[in-house]
Amino acid sequence: MELKRWWMKALFQKFLSMLPMGAHVNSAISRMFAGHDSRVDLLTKIVPNLKRHLQAWDIYKGKRLDEITVLEIGTGWDLNTALLLHLWGVREVITVDIVRYVSFRHAVRGIRAIGEYIDRLKMPGVSGNEIESRCENLLRCRTLREITQKGNIRYIAPVSKPYREIESNLVDFWLSTAVFEHIAPADIERILQHMMRVLKTGALVSHIIDLKDHFAYFDRRLPYNHFLRFSEEAWEFWAGNSIAYTNRLFARNYESLFSKYLKVIELVRVEEKQGEPLPMELIDEELRQTPVEEFRIGEVQLVAKKHQEAVII
């Protein structure tokens, strides 16, 4: 029987997840072979998604960026989101992850990439000259610690499960991009419980969540929701590890989870236009009970607020 490409990747990541430095090895391999170009990612992914978050901030809060503390969960391989927030004038940025990927070299590479595209990174209220000056100031740094100090950035990785490194009632704006799909539902609820302590009353939340099968990015022959053909037990075999896990939740599942703790004020459903979905008859029987319109959604942006009656643990 032919070994499918995504099987190979899934089994290799399953093996790596058992090694002490497996996540770092997976990251390095992805950078070498998966076509990740930090400059392309900056312009096509990081900047557009961050502007979507800030657009939600402008609509629902409108407070000046130099007056707020922003929390990003899921720093990832580089510091670019936090760096951009600093360059655009945010008072303080806290960025956290469960694995410490970012090094001084990664941060410098990000600053230089940003410096190459200053004309395309302008935001209302901040000039290109201001961004250029701040970039030059950061490039004078000799350590990652110095970069984060000058940028008013707190990089916390690995972060504790209860987020005890972050003070209570501190955060004005909590955001993430392509993070929550990698977190089990029970852990999403745990995170939300702890965020009730960290967020200020009235704080805004914006999360962009990718609902597609991530193995389909590696094997383009797969339908974007290919993972829905598996039972929970079968999917656990292929992707039930710290590197490859995706929870396969639908838009309505996220709305239900977040509504337990926050007031959801907008759920933007982005219909997937690239390729056809998995035929209904191939979808796992239990998952087939989901309303048919949910199968066309490839991404959501969930915007919510912490209300006064929020329960704090």
Computed on alpha carbons and rounded to an integer, the radius of gyration of the chain in Å comes to 20
30 domain residue, yes or no: no
Q: Read off the pTM.
A: 0.94
138 domain residue, yes or no: yes
pLDDT in tens, 280-300: 999 999 999 999 999 999 999
Paired sense of beta strands 199-210 and 297-305, if any: antiparallel
28 domain residue, yes or no: no
Contact 202, 305 (CB under 8 A): yes
CA dihedral 207, 208, 209, 215 (to 10 degrees): -140
For residues 86-125, b (16+ Cβ closer than 10 Å) or e, as one string?
bbbbbebbbbbbbbebbeeebbbbbbebbbeebeebebee
- Distance CA(275)–CA(112), nearest Å, equals 35
Mean pLDDT, residues 62-69? 93
Output the pLDDT for position 3.
Answer: 53
Mean pLDDT, residues 15-34? 80
For residues 133-162, b (16+ Cβ closer than 10 Å) or e, as one string?
ebbeebeebeebeebbeebebbbbeebeee
pLDDT in tens, 77-113: 899 999 999 999 999 999 999 999 999 999 999 999 9
Output the pLDDT for position 1.
Answer: 35
The answer, yes or no, to whether residue 231 has pLDDT greater than 80, is: yes
301 domain residue, yes or no: yes
Output the pLDDT for position 37.
Answer: 67
Mean pLDDT, residues 160-167? 97
289 domain residue, yes or no: yes
- Distance CA(311)–CA(313), nearest Å, equals 7
Contact 301, 56 (CB under 8 A): yes
Contact 301, 207 (CB under 8 A): yes
Output the pLDDT for position 282.
Answer: 96
46 domain residue, yes or no: yes
The answer, yes or no, to whether residue 74 has pLDDT greater than 60, is: yes
Contact 62, 165 (CB under 8 A): no
For residue 94 the two structure tokens come to: 């806290």
Residue 122: which CATH number? 3.40.50.150
pLDDT band of 30, cuts 50, 70, 90: confident
Domains: count for the chain: 1
For residue 125 the two structure tokens come to: 């209220």
- Distance CA(111)–CA(171), nearest Å, equals 25
pLDDT in tens, 234-276: 999 999 999 999 999 999 999 999 999 999 999 999 999 988 8
The answer, yes or no, to whether residue 114 has pLDDT greater than 50, is: yes
127 domain residue, yes or no: yes
Output the pLDDT for position 60.
Answer: 95
The answer, yes or no, to whether residue 33 has pLDDT greater than 90, is: no
Higher pLDDT, 151 or 22: 151
**pLDDT above 70 as % of the chain:** 95
Q: Which domain holds residue 105?
A: 37-211+249-305
43 domain residue, yes or no: yes
pLDDT band of 34, cuts 50, 70, 90: low
Contact 224, 274 (CB under 8 A): yes
Mean pLDDT, residues 109-123? 89
